[in-house]
Structure 1
Amino acid sequence: MVTTTKWLTLTPQGLYCIPGQFYIDPTSLVSSAIITHGHSDHALAGHHKILATPETVAIMQLRYGIDSTTHWQSLSYFQSLLINQVKVLFLPAGHVLGSAQIVLEYDHNRVIISGDYKRRFDPTCMPFEALNCDTFITEATFGLPVFKHPPIEHELNKLLHSLETFSTCHLVGVYPLGKCQRLIKSLRIINYQEPIYLHGALIKLCQLYETFGVKLGELRLANTLDTKSAAGKIVLCPPSSLNDRWTRRFGESIKAQASGWMQIRARAKQKAIDLPLIISDHADWPELVQTMTEVNPYEIWVTHGQEEALVYYATKNGYQAQALHLMGYEEDGN
């Protein structure tokens, strides 16, 4: 059996599989790329060839256009294919619709690249699937013991309680892919069936989710509201739009943001958020540790996040561990 470092290496473009001759989530344009999910920091437009789940392919084509890549190829969960001498398998990652862990097998050595993932229930995507491997490459966005995310129901009840208490418009900043649809669907599950109003930038991805069977209930364009009619309504928008002139149409409003980073009070205060909602599409510290235990690899590589703390914990618990320090991955709404 060859060791992982003999056939999987870090390059300026990102993680590269030598025998397979492809990159995983490359941060600059390459000839052949496997994409874990549709967030723009992982899914660049312009690669010559892209392999991803059908959902991620659809997301990328919606965002970038079908002509943004010369060759599209999709692979469904739990199916595999052989690329040169490397077996490639996709497992659900539980991050957003279509998000996948990339399982690579070569010369009796199995590597799993987690991509971004979470372990909480999400009604808009398939749950994370744990599989044993030799090397596990994990994200660590919230890789500090202080990060323990509350149940989403707790945060949504905060929103609904505020809505009952203050009869003003509630503007909620959500990332357009994943967070938006999860928040809507989760509100429906706890029986909020009123129309939810959307910034125009959120509409197309919600429609795409619907085509994949994720029913979101009645959605309306936010620009149909005015100061009077916006009272008591939930309006979703990208976080960057919370302080735009666009919000003036709603009159007095309460500004909320759904993000794991809202656990940090200073960040919420800095962004002038009235109602922080700690809702994350990434694993928190207990879930990172849980996943490490369930996957039970010989070696752990930690990337994009709080790498050092998780490397230290893994080493203390008997794993070989190192930080990859992959560059180019930014916050995706978290």
Structure 2
Amino acid sequence: MVEEYFKLTEIGLYCPRYNFYLDPQKSVKNAVISHAHGDHAVAGSENVYCTESTRSVMELRFKKNAGKNFQVRDYHQSFMIDDARITFYSAGHILGSAQILVEIDGKRILYTGDFKLDADPTNEPFEFVKADILITETTFASSETAHPNAESEIVKLNKFNNNIIFGAYALGKAQRITQLINEHCSNLNVLVHYSIAPIHRIYEQYGIDLGKWQLYDRKTMKHSSNSVYIVPPLTFSSYKHSRDVYKVFASGWGNLQEYCDEKLFISDHADWNQILTLIERSEAKEIWTLHGNGHELKQHLKDSHAVKILNE
């Protein structure tokens, strides 16, 4: 069983034999980071193993406290922590996101982090990896969850005839929305919040074509009727009583999309069928679930897989 190699602690998934964590929630000696979202990457660890673009975002957000020693690795570039062999593979979640394959005693243990299978030109495409043991996110692991096509959601913006305040997470979502608007809503002018613009620039630094966008200014918004102002969720909530703009929010979560004129279900996580596809293609017979509710998945797989719910 995988318990020989990893255990879930209050800090995160820990490998006691070789003293490293996967996505720790506090600073540690050895942190192997799947991606730069705040619930997976924290500041201050001594040795930080991650992809190059993940380091760039962490340094943007945490400045000098991002980490003492960054050990940057490309996808497929294996490295060792003592006798554990570790390799990153693209997770398709955001730019630089990685599945983490850990090989110990001939066992292949694959930690997905957050992932999606959908095509998305703002990040590297998902890679299927064979594993003996799969530790998967289950954010949307419900048979009732099927994410719609992102392109069919974004074109709903074309029906509006006034400026739009668009709520989206600053890292990953905002860049994907910018690219989608430029490709499918060419009549709209994209403005971005000052906190989002530096992340847009990092994406472009790594060769991602987001299309046209500009930093928000009040004058541009005031004198146009076809602008989309992309803002983070906290800023979006401050516009809830505004009547002179349309309010749109994009998420896989319906309950986050309040005070909206339109809800766009654009998710950067795997839905039910994508999780099942991952399990099948990985060929793993032992499954651990994390980051969500794994009970329905455990019931679904009861005759074919050993399933352990980590976070119950």
Q: Please state which band the TM-score falls in when normalised by the shorter chain.
A: over 0.9
Question: How far has the Cα of 1:288 moved from its partner?
Answer: 0.8
1:169-196 Cα distance to aligned partner (Å, 9 max, x none): 1111010000111111122333626531
Deviations 1:276-297 (A, max 9, x none): 0000000011111111111120
Q: Which runs of 4+ in 1 moved over 6 A?
A: none
- How many matched pairs? 312
SS in 1 for 2:203: helix
Output the CA distance in 1 between the equivalents of 2:122 and 2:221.
32
Measure how far apart 1:273 and its partner are: 1.3
3-state SS of 2:195 partner: helix
How far apart, CA to CA, are the structure 2 residues paired with 1:91 and 1:119? 13
Q: Which amino acid in structure 1 is aligned with residue 18 of structure 2?
A: G
Any idea what SS the aligned residue of 1:242 has?
helix
2:225 to 214, 226, 231: 231
Q: Secondary structure at the match of 2:177?
A: helix
Residue matched to 2:286: 299
Q: Is the Cα contact below 8 Å between 1:110 and 1:134 reproduced in 2?
A: yes
Distance in 2 between residues matched to 1:7 and 1:153, nearest whole Å: 41
Q: State the one-letter code of the partner of 1:219.
A: W
Pair 1:168–1:33, CA change in 2 (3 A):
same
Tell me if 1:260 matches 2:260.
no
Larger helix proportion, structure 1 or 2? 1
State yes or no: 1:81 paired with 2:67.
Answer: no
User: Counterpart amino acid of 1:180?
Assistant: A
Partner residue in 2 for 1:325: 311
Structure 2 residues without counterparts, runs of 5 or longer: none
Q: Which amino acid aligns with 1:214?
A: I
Over residues 91-136 of structure 1, what are the superposed CA-to-partner deviations in whole Å (9 max), with x where a residue is unaligned?
A: 0000000000000001111100000000000101111111111110
Q: Secondary structure at the match of 1:94?
A: coil
Q: For 2:148, which of 106, 126, 150 is the aligned residue?
A: 150
> 1:115-173: CA deviations, max 9, x gaps?
0000000101111111111110000111111110110111011112x22xxx2111110
Instruction: Decide which of 180, 187, 198 is 2:174's aligned counterpart.
Output: 180
Q: 1:33 aligns to what?
A: 31
**For the residues of structure 2 that align with 1:49 and 1:193, how far apart are their CA atoms?**
46
Partner SS, residue 282 of structure 1: coil
Give the whole-Å Cα distance in 2 for the aligned partners of 1:207 and 1:141: 29
Q: Deviations over 1:63-108 (max 9, x none)?
A: 1113432111101001101110000000000000000000000111
Q: Would the aligned equivalents of 2:221 and 2:227 in 1 still touch at CA under 8 Å?
A: no
Amino acid at match of 1:321: V
1:1-334 map, 5 Å: 3-160=1-158, 162-163=159-160, 167-190=161-184, 192=186, 194-225=188-219, 228-244=222-238, 252-262=244-254, 268=257, 271-316=258-303, 318-325=304-311
Q: Name the CA distance, whole Å, in 2 between partners of 1:235 and 1:225.
A: 13
Q: TM-score, normalised by structure 1?
A: 0.89
CA contact (8 A) 1:96 1:178 kept: yes
Task: For 1:71 and 1:243, locate their aligned partners in 2 and report how far apart those are by CA, in whole Å.
Answer: 38
Q: In the aligned structure 1, how far is the partner of 2:256 from the partner of 2:93?
A: 23
TM-score scaled by structure 2? 0.95
Q: Call closer, same or farther: CA 1:193–1:61 in 2, change over 3 Å.
A: farther
Q: 1:194 & 1:229 partners in 2: Cα distance? A: 14
Q: 1:273/1:232 Cα in 2 relative to 1: closer, same or farther (>3 Å)? A: same
